[in-house]
Amino acid sequence: MVRSRDHRVEQLMRDVADKRVSRRDLVKRAAAVGLAVPAVGVLGWV
């Protein structure tokens, strides 16, 4: 379970870095993997 979550977080970070995700999708995907808003802000979009 943890590895699956880690993989989803890493993929989200790659997508953000490559600008392949909108802010809305970022918030949705971050919430789905359990990231809090301050953590999402660190990714650079919010």
pLDDT at 14: 93
Per-residue pLDDT tens digits for 1-46: 567 888 998 999 899 899 999 989 998 998 998 888 888 887 765 4
pLDDT at 28: 92
Q: Say which residues have a Cβ less than 8 Å from residue 9's Cβ, sequence separation at least 6.
A: 33, 35
pLDDT at 41: 81
pLDDT at 3: 78
In which domain, by residue range, is 37 found? Answer: 2-42
**Are the C-beta atoms of 41 and 17 separated by less than 8 Å?**
no
Q: How far apart are CA 9 and CA 2, in angstroms?
A: 10
Q: How far apart are CA 44 and CA 23, in angstroms?
A: 10
For the whole prediction, is pTM greater than 0.85? no
19 DSSP 8-state letter: T
The structural domain count of the chain equals 1
pLDDT at 1: 57
